[in-house]
Structure 1
Amino acid sequence: METIKSKFENITEQLNQINPGIQVIAVTKQVGNERTQEAVDAGIIHLGENRPAGLLQKREAIHASVDWHFIGNLQTRKVKDIINEIDFLHSLDRLSLAKEIQKRAEKAVRCFVQVNVSGEESKSGVPAEEAVEFVRSLADFDKIQVIGLMTMAPISEDEGLIRQVFSGLKKLQMEIAEKAWDHAPCTECSMGMSGDYIIAAEEGASYVRIGTALVGTESEVEG
């Protein structure tokens, strides 16, 4: 079976040919501590989890200098549990969440505002047409630093549709960055997962979130 190290090297080489400097987040939600440690040993420095309990458990088990990314929907009542344990939040999508972060964070948190570019009802995120105003409204929250935007593409075989969603996020990111707001440098785009990270890179992603294509799943490991 191909190792995480070889997968990481291949993915990194692919991405650097498209967009040098792009960062790979290993999404470890479907694997245990051993597999996560293997990812760290392979040189991966960004780890992503989508549940507070999973993130806290991995953080306690993995003793390494890595950046922890919370990439899932964050319930307001769970903010107090993890906000001071993470390095990046990829799912800031409502004012009530911003207020709770402001209340609980001990220092400024690097946040991506999640934008629902596709308009799918099943997806979380600020509607694309409201994204600029939402980011502007965060100026009074000194515990929030909007470093970029995040989105998820539809699960679709239509590459054109996926590309349209990613290019839409990149356009919004550049529009906000041009405003040069102190609270929102907004230089980054978090987009692309196992099935579409190449398209995301081509459309300007600076962070891609890769799970199964990089670290696999526990059933795969057991098999």
Structure 2
Amino acid sequence: MNIAANLQQIRAEIAAACLRAARDPEAVRLVAVSKTKSAAAISEAATAGQRIFGESYVQEFLDKSPEVRQAVEWHFVGHLQSNKVKYLRDRVTLIHSVDRLSLAREIDRQWARCEHPLAVLMQVNLGDEDSKSGIAPDQAADLARAIAALPHLRLRGLMTLPPYFDDPEEVRPFFRRLRLLADEIAALALPGVRMEELSMGMSHDFTVAIEEGATLVRIGTAIFGSRS
């Protein structure tokens, strides 16, 4: 598994997708999803120039992150239990998966002890799938209003994990819907809320996500190989 070569290939595909969509490649950031991957693999990716890593399991993140010596940025991208938030305090720069007010309140409570507020994304369940977390689209505006009132959080956009289709083109309507939902929330002009990030797209469909406006693509398998 040549992680450096994989990263080079993905960056080329990101640039090509941006060219097709008349977007600046600098507007799209790659989140290397490193859950279940070793600190050594993360360090190898960091040495190859990757800076943002996404983790999904709190205990695993706590165990391996101290072993990564390079200057990297950690995002939390998985389902988050409120009682685990305290372990992430001051260790992550963005949480992608805020899907309920109780979780937002606990993050706010923990970051009250920090010098800076935390940027968060709201996770939206566009496919109405019981197996996936996320707030229903018709409840997203209300949750955005509630998050806007929390002093130690900054809502910066939306995240989704759409249904899986072998053909990425079948996922395109979900990505488009997330972008339109972000536009609707932006139009509310809520204090402190900016819809500047769309976290969407994974290894098999990230180019379509970029064409539909993704600013953060979460890629694991195409960088690190299949999870063992």
**Normalising by the residue count of structure 2, what TM-score does the alignment of the two structures yield?**
0.90
Distance 2:45 2:160 in 1: 24
Moved >4 Å (runs of 4+): none
1:185 matched to 2:217? The reply is no
Partners of 1:110 and 1:144 within 8 A in 2: yes
Distance 2:46 2:167 in 1: 34
Deviation at 1:70, TM superposition (A): 0.4
1:56 matched to 2:62? The reply is yes
2:124 pairs, out of 111, 115, 121, with 115
Equivalence for 1:16: 15
1:162 matched to 2:171? The reply is yes
Cα displacement string for residues 43-88 of structure 1 (whole angstroms, at most 9, x for unaligned residues): 0000011001121223211122211010011101001111321111
1:174 matched to 2:173? The reply is no
Shift in CA distance, 17/180, structure 1 to aligned 2, threshold 3 Å: farther
After TM superposition, list the pairs within 5 Å mapping 1:207-222 onto structure 2.
207-217=216-226, 219=228
Cα displacement string for residues 3-42 of structure 1 (whole angstroms, at most 9, x for unaligned residues): 2112111111211222212111111113111111101001
**Mean Cα deviation higher: 175-184 or 140-149:** 175-184
Equivalence for 2:22: none
Equivalence for 1:146: 155
**Mean Cα deviation higher: 41-50 or 210-219:** 210-219
After TM superposition, list the pairs within 5 Å mapping 1:65-76 onto structure 2.
65-76=71-82
Distance 1:9 1:116 in 2: 31
Partners of 1:32 and 1:218 within 8 A in 2: no
Distance 1:184 1:77 in 2: 25
Partners of 2:221 and 2:227 within 8 A in 1: no
Cα displacement string for residues 139-168 of structure 1 (whole angstroms, at most 9, x for unaligned residues): 220111111100011122254431111111
Partners of 2:126 and 2:160 within 8 A in 1: yes
CA RMSD of aligned residues (A): 1.5
Q: Structure 2: 5+ residue runs without aligned partners? A: 19-24
SS of the residue corresponding to residue 89 of structure 1 reads: strand
Shift in CA distance, 120/10, structure 1 to aligned 2, threshold 3 Å: same
